[in-house]
C-alpha cells in the first residue's frame, strides 16, 4: 500500500501531493488509537472531485424525500432541473388530498433582471402561487448561489408569507451551493431549520408502547420500506424517519419518540443530539445494512426498552427472517468468497456496505467518503479535538436548551447506568477506520484521476460509487455498482435487502461480459482488414 499511495501522488505538483497525502491513509492496527486523517476540507482547485454542493445536501438529500412539504427553489432554473428526481428516494404517501410533491420541480426561475434588481418580490409571488395551487402544510424555500451573492432576504420573505397565510408554515434555508466545502454543510443547515420550524409542533399524542425515530434513513430504492416492515413486525412504532418517506406531521411529532436510532451518522448526528438536549430522547447508532447488522440493531432497540415481550418478539422475527438469508448466502458464497471491492460514496454507506460484503466473503480493500468528517473515520471520541476552520464556522450552530414543557427524561440515571454497565452503548460511533483491515487504503474526497489510478493499481473485482464514476470505471473493464442510486435496484437494507444485494453482486462480479472488453480485431489483428488502393 505504501507503493500505491506514492503512485497515486506521483503526478501531482508537490504542494498538491502534500495536501492530498494527508487525506490518503494506509490503515494500520494501532494499540488503543486510530490513525488520523484530514477530512471536511476544501477540494484543491483544478481537481475533478466526486463531491457535490451545499444546496445538493440541503434541498436534495435532507428535504428532497419529504412528500407533503412544497420544496421551492429560489434561483436560476438549472439548479432545480439538476435536482429534479435525481435521488431515488421513494414515497408511499398519498395524503388526504392526494398531495405528494416529490415529482414536482418548483423554482422561481431567476433571470438576469432579478439578479440585478433583486428577487424577493418574485419569491413572494412564487410562494403565493404554491399556496394557492396546493394549500400545503408547509413550504420550504431554498437559496442557490446567486441568491446569497445578491443578498435576497429569503427568511424575511418566508416569515412575511407565513404570517399572511396563517395556516401554512413557510421557512427558508440559506443553503447556497458555495456555503460549505461539500454537501455536508447542507445537511447541517437543513437539520437546523427542520428542528427549529417543524419538530415539536404536533398536538396529536402518540400512545404506542415502543416508539422510536429513525434518523438518517432516506428510503433510497425502498430501504426505508423494508426497515419499516421489520420494525412493524416486531411491534416497534417508527414515529418519524428523517427523512425517507416522511411527512410534515411525522417531523412535528418526532419529540414524542422514546429513542432515536441513527442510521447515517454523518448527515444527522446533530438532530440526534438536539432531540436529546431539548426533549430528553437518548440516541443509539444502528445499521440496517447487512442481515447480521440488522439483527444486532433490532436486539439493541429491544434491550433499550428492556421489556421481555419485545425481546422475545424481536428474537422470533429474526428467527423467522434468517433462514432465507442463510440460504441466499450459502448459494452465492462459493462464487463471491475472496473477491475484492472498493467503496467511495458520500458518507456512511462506504462503511455500512462493508458489512454486506463481509457476509458474502468479500473484502473491501479501499474505501472513503466524499464529505464525511473525521469522526466518521476515526470515531466520535475525537469530536472535542476537531479544529473549527473558517469554512465550518460559516455554518450556524444552534443553541438548544431543555424545553420547559416538553422535556422528559426517558430513563432514570440509574437505569441508564445499569444499561451502560451491561455493555449497552449510547451515542456510539467508532467510524470506518477501526472496522477496516490492516493495510487497506482509506481515501477522503477521492477524485476522478485517483479513482482510475486506484483501479489500475489494485484491480478490484468491483467498484462502488456514483453516476459520475459509473462509465469511466466500466471503461476500465471493472464492474461498477452505484451505491447512491443502487442503479435501478434495491432495497438493500434489512433482511430482504440483504438477499437482493447478494444476488446482485454475485451477478456483477461473476459476469463474463468484462472478458469481451476488447473488440475481436484488437485481440486478433489478423482479423483487421487493410484498405487497398485500387
Ligand atoms: Fe448519509 Fe445518505 Fe450517505 Fe448522505 Fe448522499 Fe445518499 Fe450517499 Mo448519495 S445521507 S451520507 S449526502 S447515507 S445522497 S442517502 S447515497 S452521498 S453515502
Ligand atoms: C448528491 C446526491 C447523490 C449523488 C449521487 C451520484 C445521490 O450528493 O447530490 O453521484 O451518483 O445519492 O443521489 O449523492
322 within a domain of the structure (yes/no): yes
Distance CA 22, CA 209 (A): 48
Q: How far is CA 387 from CA 39, 41, 391, 404, in A?
A: 11, 11, 11, 33
Tell whether 20 is covered by a domain: no
Three-class SS of 250-297:
HHHHHHHCCEEEECCHHHHHHHHHHHHHHHCCCEEECCCCCHHHHHHH
Q: How far is the CA of 345 from the centre of ligand 1 (A)?
A: 7
| Grid cell for residue 156 | 424575511
Residue 96 shares a structural domain with residue 174: yes
Give the H/E segment covering residue 71. strand 69-74
- Whether 156 and 89 share a structural domain: yes
Residues serving a catalytic function are: 53, 56, 87, 187
Q: Hey, what's the cell of 14?
A: 508537490
- Cβ 56 under 6 angstroms from ligand 2: yes
Residue 385 lies in a domain: yes
Measure 215 CA to ligand 2 centroid, in angstroms.
Answer: 19
Same domain, 173 and 227: no
Residue ending a domain, choose from 125, 160, 180:
180
The three cell numbers locating residue 380: 466520535
Instruction: Return the ligand 2 atom nearest residue 484 CA.
Output: 12
Q: What is the DSSP letter of 449?
A: H
- Of residues 137, 75, 62, 136, the one with CA closest to residue 106: 75
Whether 245 and 393 share a structural domain = yes
Using a 6 Å cutoff on CB, does residue 466 contact ligand 2?
A: yes
**Residue whose CB lies within 8 A of the most ligand 2 atoms, among 485, 487, 490, for a mutation test:** 485
Which of 43, 49, 51, 52 most suits a substitution to test ligand 2, by most atoms within 8 Å of the C-beta?
52
Residues 258 and 147 in one domain: no
60 CB within 6 A, ligand 2: yes
Cβ(51) – ligand 2 distance below 6 Å: no
A 10 A CB-CB count for 174 gives 19
Q: Cell numbers at residue 482, please?
A: 452505484
Q: Residue 83: inside a domain, yes or no?
A: yes
Who contacts 526 (Cβ-Cβ below 8 Å, separation ≥6)?
Answer: none
pLDDT at 519: 80
Per-residue pLDDT of the chain (534 residues; tens, 9 = 90+): 789 999 999 999 999 999 999 999 999 877 778 899 999 999 999 999 999 999 999 999 999 999 999 999 999 999 999 899 999 999 999 988 878 999 999 999 999 999 999 999 999 999 999 999 999 999 999 999 999 999 999 999 999 999 999 999 999 999 999 999 999 999 999 999 999 999 999 989 999 999 999 999 999 999 999 999 999 999 999 999 999 999 999 999 999 999 999 999 999 999 999 999 999 999 999 999 999 999 999 999 999 999 999 999 999 999 999 999 999 999 999 999 999 999 999 999 999 999 999 999 999 999 999 999 999 999 999 999 999 999 999 999 999 999 999 999 999 999 999 999 999 999 999 999 999 999 999 999 999 999 999 999 999 999 999 999 999 999 999 999 999 999 999 999 999 999 999 999 999 999 999 888 888 778 787 766 677 876
Alpha carbon of residue 145 to chain centroid: 23
pLDDT score of 502? 98
Q: What is the Cα–Cα distance from 330 to 324, expressed in whole angstroms?
A: 10
Q: 66 lies in a domain? A: yes
Classify 312 as helix, strand or coil: helix
First-last CA distance in the chain: 57
Q: With both helix axes pointing from N to C terminus, report the angle between 494-509 and 223-234 in degrees, rounded to the nearest 10.
A: 140
Residue 166 resides in a domain? yes
How many structural domains compose the chain?
2
Where is the domain boundary, 362, 397, 421? 421
Q: Which residues of 377-414 are buried (b: 16+ CB within 10 A; e: fewer)?
A: bbbbeeeeeeeeeeebeebeeeebeeeeeeeeebbeee
Say whether both 169 and 285 belong to one domain: no
Distance separating alpha carbons of residues 48 and 449, to the nearest angstrom: 8
Nearest ligand to the C-alpha atom of residue 368? 1
Answer yes or no: are the C-beta atoms of 289 and 353 closer than 8 Å: yes
Identify whether 12 is part of a domain.
Answer: no
270 within domain boundaries: yes
3-state secondary structure of 66: strand
Instruction: State how far the alpha carbon of 438 is from the alpha carbons of 1, 34, 117, 504, in Å.
Output: 10, 12, 58, 28
Q: For residues 130 and 272, state if they share a domain.
A: no
Residues 6+ apart with CB under 8 A from 172: 140, 141, 142, 143, 154, 155, 157, 158, 193
- Give pLDDT, residue 527: 66
3-state secondary structure 289-305: CCHHHHHHHHHHHHHHH
Asked if 175 and 216 sit in the same domain, the reply is: no
Would you say the CB of residue 201 lies under 6 angstroms from ligand 2?
no
Asked if 505 contacts 462 with a C-beta cutoff of 8 angstroms, the reply is: yes
For 146: left if phi > 0, alpha if psi spans -120 to 50, otherwise beta; the answer is alpha
pLDDT of residue 523: 79
CA distance 4 to 517: 25
Cα of 483 vs centre of ligand 1, distance in Å, is 9
Give the residues across from 284 on adjacent strands: 261
Distance (Å, whole) CA 192 – CA 64: 16
226, 153: one domain: no
The pLDDT value given to residue 524: 80
d(CA 349, ligand 1 centre) in Å: 7
Residues 216 and 137 in one domain: no
The residues, any chain, with a CB within 8 Å of residue 14's CB and separated by 6 or more, are none
348 lines ligand 1 (CB under 6 A): yes
Domain boundary among 421, 447, 481: 421
Q: What's the CATH code of the domain at 119?
A: 3.40.50.1980
**Helix and strand counts by DSSP (H, E) for the chain:** 22, 14
Atom 10 in ligand 1: which residue has the minimum CA distance? 347
DSSP string, 127-167: HHHHHHHH--SEEEEEE-HHHHHHT--HHHHHHHHHHHHSS
- 360 Cα to the center of ligand 1, angstroms: 23
B/e letters for 120-159, b = 16+ CB within 10 Å, e = fewer, are bebbbebbeebbeebebbbbbbbbbbbbbeeebebbebbe
Find the domain containing 389 and state its range.
Answer: 211-335+378-421
Residues 279 and 413 in one domain: yes
| Domain match, 399 and 310 both | yes
User: Please, how many CA atoms are within 13 Å of residue 307, restricted to the half-sphere of its CB?
Assistant: 11
SS3 18: helix
Amino acid at each position: 500500500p505504501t507503493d500505491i499511495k506514492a503512485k497515486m501522488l506521483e503526478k501531482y505538483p508537490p504542494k498538491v501531493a502534500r495536501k492530498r497525502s494527508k487525506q490518503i491513509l494506509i490503515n494500520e492496527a494501532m494499540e488503543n488509537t486510530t490513525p488520523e486523517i484530514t477530512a471536511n476540507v476544501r477540494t484543491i482547485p483544478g481537481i475533478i472531485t466526486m463531491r457535490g454542493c451545499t444546496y445538493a445536501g440541503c434541498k436534495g438529500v435532507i428535504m428532497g424525500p419529504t412528500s407533503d412539504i412544497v420544496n421551492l427553489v429560489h434561483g436560476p432554473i438549472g439548479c432545480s432541473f439538476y435536482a429534479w428526481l435525481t435521488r431515488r428516494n421513494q414515497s408511499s404517501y398519498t395524503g388526504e388530498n392526494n398531495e405528494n410533491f416529490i415529482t414536482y420541480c418548483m423554482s422561481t426561475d431567476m433571470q438576469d433582471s432579478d439578479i440585478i434588481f433583486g428577487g424577493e418580490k418574485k419569491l413572494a409571488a412564487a410562494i403565493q402561487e404554491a399556496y394557492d395551487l396546493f394549500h400545503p402544510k408547509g413550504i420550504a424555500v431554498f437559496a442557490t448561489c446567486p441568491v446569497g451573492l445578491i443578498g435576497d432576504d429569503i427568511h424575511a420573505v418566508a416569515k412575511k408569507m407565513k404570517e399572511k397565510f396563517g395556516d401554512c408554515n413557510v421557512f427558508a434555508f440559506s443553503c447556497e451551493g458555495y456555503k460549505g466545502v461539500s454537501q455536508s454543510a447542507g445537511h447541517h443547515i437543513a437539520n437546523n431549520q427542520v428542528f427549529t420550524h417543524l419538530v415539536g409542533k404536533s398536538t396529536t399524542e402518540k400512545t404506542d408502547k415502543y416508539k422510536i425515530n429513525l434518523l438518517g434513513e432516506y428510503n433510497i430504492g425502498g430501504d426505508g420500506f423494508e426497515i419499516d416492515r421489520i420494525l412493524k413486525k416486531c411491534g416497534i412504532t417508527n414515529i418519524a424517519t428523517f427523512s425517507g418517506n416522511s411527512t410534515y406531521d411525522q417531523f412535528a411529532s418526532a419529540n414524542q419518540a422514546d429513542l432515536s436510532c441513527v442510521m447515517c451518522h454523518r448527515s444527522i448526528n446533530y438532530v440526534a443530539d438536539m432531540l436529546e438536549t431539548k426533549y430528553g430522547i437518548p440516541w443509539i447508532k444502528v445499521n440496517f445494512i447487512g442481515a447480521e447488522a440488522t439483527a444486532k440493531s433490532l436486539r439493541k432497540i429491544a434491550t433499550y426498552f428492556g421489556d421481555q415481550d419485545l425481546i422475545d418478539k424481536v428474537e422470533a422475527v429474526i428467527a423467522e427472517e434468517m433462514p432465507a438469508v442463510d440460504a441466499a448466502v450459502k448459494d452465492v458464497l462459493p462464487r463471491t468468497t475472496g473477491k475484492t471491492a472498493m467503496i467511495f460514496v458520500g458518507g456512511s454507506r462506504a462503511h455500512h456496505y462493508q458489512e454486506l460484503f463481509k457476509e458474502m466473503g468479500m473484502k473491501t480493500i479501499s474505501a472513503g467518503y466524499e464529505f464525511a468528517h473525521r469522526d466518521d473515520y476515526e470515531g466520535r471520541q475525537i469530536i472535542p479535538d476537531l479544529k473549527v476552520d473558517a469554512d465550518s464556522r460559516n455554518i450556524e450552530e444552534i443553541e438548544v436548551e431543555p424545553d420547559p414543557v416538553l422535556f422528559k427524561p426517558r430513563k432514570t440515571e440509574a437505569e441508564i447506568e445499569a444499561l451502560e454497565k451491561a455493555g449497552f452503548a449510547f451515542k456510539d460511533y467508532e467510524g470506518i477506520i477501526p472496522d477496516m483491515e490492516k493495510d487497506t487504503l482509506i481515501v477522503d474526497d477521492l477524485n476522478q484521476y485517483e479513482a482510475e489510478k486506484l483501479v489500475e493499481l489494485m484491480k478490484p473485482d468491483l467498484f462502488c460509487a456514483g453516476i459520475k464514476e459509473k462509465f469511466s470505471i466500466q471503461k476500465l473493464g471493472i464492474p461498477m455498482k452505484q451505491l447512491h442510486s443502487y442503479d435501478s435496484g434495491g432495497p438493500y437494507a434489512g433482511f430482504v435487502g440483504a438477499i437482493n444485494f447478494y444476488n446482485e453482486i454475485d451477478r456483477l462480479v461473476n459476469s463474463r461480459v468484462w472478458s469481451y472488453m476488447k473488440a475481436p480485431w484488437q485481440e486478433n489483428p489478423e482479423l483487421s482488414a487493410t484498405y487497398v488502393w485500387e
